[in-house]
Structure 1
């Protein structure tokens, strides 16, 4: 799978090791889900102001959040279907707020690396249609998240 990772925030320095970890998490998630090598996904790391603006524009919620996912294979009323003539599978984009992830890591008592990886996996699974709108769906999504994180040494 091809991963495009773009760090657009500078409040929290993220070294190559962290970027490599996030790419590894996405690669493992793709393998667990059985996605082919032609799959593409984007991960953008932002600050709270940027994610707040996106949350307001796309969800009508005027507050920062931890992660947003924009799936290209989902359409709403009046939206065109996005098809790539080359046959590539463009999943979409994941946006993660690094400051929020850092605060949440402290609140949950684990490392920022685990929280950033968790949010990346969470967003990735949303791109594939996973959700947590029912107890059953939430349990399925949580189990898959934990399986992926355990495979990269970040299990609970």
Structure 2
């Protein structure tokens, strides 16, 4: 797995410890779903202003959000073998992650881990558009985070 990270904000520190947690979450999500580790994932850290602009541009929602997912795996008729398989792009507002960690009364690292995990399942085709799909996705997220010992505390 290749994780390409881009820190486009300077308001919240992105520590080496947080990077290690993110790597373990992405690997465990792939493993949980039976994906091989040949995928490339792009992860951008942004501030509330940038994610607001992206949310408005790509989803037509004129407000900030915590995370955006841009899956690149699509079902199509092309059978092209590429050396690297791109799974997609994840964009996280680090400001929003910090706000939510305080709101939910758990660590900043746990919140970022959850957002990465949540977004990874979006990249692998899951959604929370119905109650049933939400239950499935939440169950998978919880299984990964519990396995890694990343629990609410």
Asked if structure 1 preserves the Cα contact closer than 8 Å seen for 2:27 and 2:37, the reply is no
Partner in structure 1 of residue 64 of structure 2: 64
Note closer, same or farther for the CA distance 1:57–1:88 as it changes in structure 2 (3 Å cut): same
SS at match of 1:123: helix
Asked if structure 2 preserves the Cα contact closer than 8 Å seen for 1:72 and 1:82, the reply is no
Stretch of structure 1 that moved more, 105-114 or 4-13: 4-13
Structure 1, gaps ≥5 residues long: none
Please report how far the alpha carbon of residue 86 of structure 1 lies from its aligned counterpart in structure 2 after TM superposition: 2.2
User: How many aligned positions are there?
Assistant: 152
SS at match of 2:36: coil
SS at match of 1:3: strand
Partner in structure 1 of residue 94 of structure 2: 98
Structure 2, gaps ≥5 residues long: none
Partner in structure 1 of residue 122 of structure 2: 126
Note closer, same or farther for the CA distance 1:82–1:104 as it changes in structure 2 (3 Å cut): farther
Partner in structure 1 of residue 135 of structure 2: 139
Q: Report 1:37-116 matches (<5 A).
A: 37-74=37-74, 85-116=81-112
- Please, what TM-score do these two structures have when normalized by structure 2? 0.92
